[in-house]
Amino acid sequence: MISKKISALLIFAVLAAVIFLMPSCAKKYSPEQEKYIKGIEKFRQEKDDYMKNDPSSPFNLDKNAHFKPLKYYDVNPDFVFKSKLYVYPNPDTVKILGTKGEERKIVRFGYVKFGYEGKQYRLNVYKGTTGSGSTYYTIWFTDKTTGNETYGVGRYLDFDLNPDTSYVYTVDFNLAYNPYCAYSAKYSCAIPSKEDHLDLSIEAGEKKFHQ
């Protein structure tokens, strides 16, 4: 009986030590980073509210799409990068496919680049036109998490073009999101090409919805 009590006390002591040490092992962020993390978390809450309640969300336009809170990686400031936009001398129109097999045309406009863990990467910026005729710019990509922890088609990043050619953009993978086809079969979305693959794990942004 005594040995059992000692064993129980030892287990309790080990667990207490682990719990005590855990905060000291957590990554420390600066006040600016903490503010940034809270801002992203607030944005995610607002997006959930939109997805659940707005009449134009994919969950309210498709009776077969059932809402549940979107899944994300923890906000990680290490996946925020800065880059100029490097416009291609002769931006060309390329053909891509949508998830329903349709062919689309879009302009491969330029690219951004960033360094991570000693390696350099680049991502294309595409220029497209909406059905109403307005112009938009976007980034889409796949990475080593694609099809495992993240959506199998790939993820997107919005891109707002600045007229200043020397402008330095923020490329924030914590804002990487799934296109609507991740939630509803009613939608078709652009499939990133092999050229848009990043040979690393982007463990930031939105995860796979259906798990």
Q: 73-113: per-residue pLDDT in tens? A: 999 999 999 999 999 999 999 999 999 999 999 999 999 99
In a domain, 60, yes or no: no
The rounded mean pLDDT for the chain is: 90
In a domain, 160, yes or no: yes
Distance CA 123, CA 202 (A): 13
Distance CA 99, CA 154 (A): 11
| Tokens encoding 40 | 């992203």
| Tokens encoding 189 | 């979305």
| Tokens encoding 2 | 């005594």
In a domain, 1, yes or no: no
Question: Residue 11 above 50 pLDDT?
Answer: no
In a domain, 111, yes or no: yes
Q: How far apart are the first and last CA of the chain?
A: 46
DSSP state of 25: H
* Sign of the torsion angle spanned by Cα atoms 47, 48, 53, 59: positive
Cα→Cα distances 4→9, 14, 15, 80, 93, Å: 9, 15, 17, 51, 74
In a domain, 10, yes or no: no
Per the structure, how many domains does the chain have? 1
Q: Which residue has the tokens 């080990």?
A: 14
In a domain, 57, yes or no: no
- DSSP of 79-106: GEEEEE-EEEEEEEEEEEEBTTS-EEEE
In a domain, 147, yes or no: yes
Q: List beta partners, residue 140.
A: 156
Distance CA 88, CA 13 (A): 62
Q: 121-173: per-residue pLDDT in tens? A: 999 999 999 888 899 999 999 999 999 999 999 999 999 999 999 999 999 99
CB contact at 8 A, 71 and 48: no
In a domain, 144, yes or no: yes
Rounded to two decimals, the pTM is 0.86
Dihedral Cα 41, 42, 46, 51, nearest 10 deg: 0
Distance CA 51, CA 56 (A): 8
Range(s) of the domain holding residue 97 = 68-196
